[in-house]
Structure 1
């Protein structure tokens, strides 16, 4: 297994959003955070030989990180056609050997047909629901996860632990790991006042 640092270096070539859409809360997942999630999932046995699904894949960071390990196959699900076009370019840059299937679809209404024998791991950095009219967006993503996943790793806004644990209890799932994460965001929307800012987040591993 390659090191986490090596994976981060491979993911450093992944391009972000050319024209990010605020309504979709399109913030790029940094290579260091993506490498950490994928490496942790691989150490836990959740990547090798598994079907990996990245919900709201954006330009493909988490999907491509998984594809650089040894999954059976990877699905990157994204609503925005422009983001998916960039993801296709990123796949060529990264040179992943595992098959990656890019699916243009609403991640909250999954069209995937997975067989009963598939062991499914979801990796996702869903919208936090910070924009007006998009409240509780991460709940809708979790509802999709509950319908397909054996295990998931997801990034949420700081202070989400109580919500995540309550959601998991409601559907008989188990939150096995939780840790804090921070990542830098560059200025990309007009309402951003700073050139860069640090975003506090939380990551959860859930067994469904």
Structure 2
């Protein structure tokens, strides 16, 4: 596998990653657009967080961050998702991309033990907006990421919760170094959606331990 050395080539490559054919509303499955994923991955690469690093992609879905990291020269990449259909899709995508040193595991992220030597974690967790019982699910992912003790964490969140998140990360002794801002398009993929597409403001917090 030839390592990608230009951002536009990365975006073109991951555009062909297949999205989930039947996303599950209870898991809030939305595909990260290639333009957002490639921008974040390229920033992470520039900050020294990918090349020759062990990458963990929590709630990996179709595997875009694990695969993208592998294409950028990660030492290893592991994607984890509770949904077996997503894992099967991620495996197919990795095979199609001829991505090396990559694996995918079907497991509940919140039940993981610290058996991973992760340098960098990427996560785009559900925000718990569909079920009251799952409210604050993204915070549970942050706590789990903390328990896994990576050097660096990249975590997606709703921009409207930024102030609360800054305090929460501080309580966990994360040091926030960067906040990336994106307009995340949500397509009409679930029955309750009334618009063909809408944009949601999200942030990605880069933090270190």
TM-score band, normalised by the shorter chain?
Answer: over 0.9
1:76 paired with 2:75, answer no
Name the residue aligned to 1:139.
139
* Larger helix share, 1 or 2: 2
Question: Which consecutive unaligned segments of at least 5 residues does structure 2 have?
Answer: none
1:103 Cα deviation after fit: 0.9
Q: TM-score, normalised by structure 2?
A: 0.93
Residues 101-138 of structure 1 deviation map (CA, whole Å, 9 limit, x = unaligned): 11111111214513xxx451001111122112210000
Question: Match for 2:112 among 110, 113, 135?
Answer: 110
Equivalent in 56, 63, 75 of residue 53 of structure 1:
56
Cα RMSD for the two superposed structures: 1.3
Deviation at 1:152, TM superposition (A): 0.8
Q: How many Å apart are 1:165 and its aligned residue?
A: 1.2
Q: What is the TM-score of this pair, normalised by structure 1?
A: 0.93
Q: Give me the whole-angstrom Cα distance separating, in 2, the residues matched to 1:205 and 1:2.
A: 22
Gaps of 5+ in 1: none
Which residue, 86, 99, 111 being the options, matches 1:96? Answer: 99
Report SS of the residue matched to 2:134: coil
Structure 1 consecutive aligned stretches of length 4 or more whose deviation exceeds 2 Å: none
Structure 2 distance, partners of 1:62, 1:107, is: 16
Number of equivalences: 204
Distance in 2, matches of 1:25 and 1:87, equals 17
Counterpart in the other structure of 2:15: 12
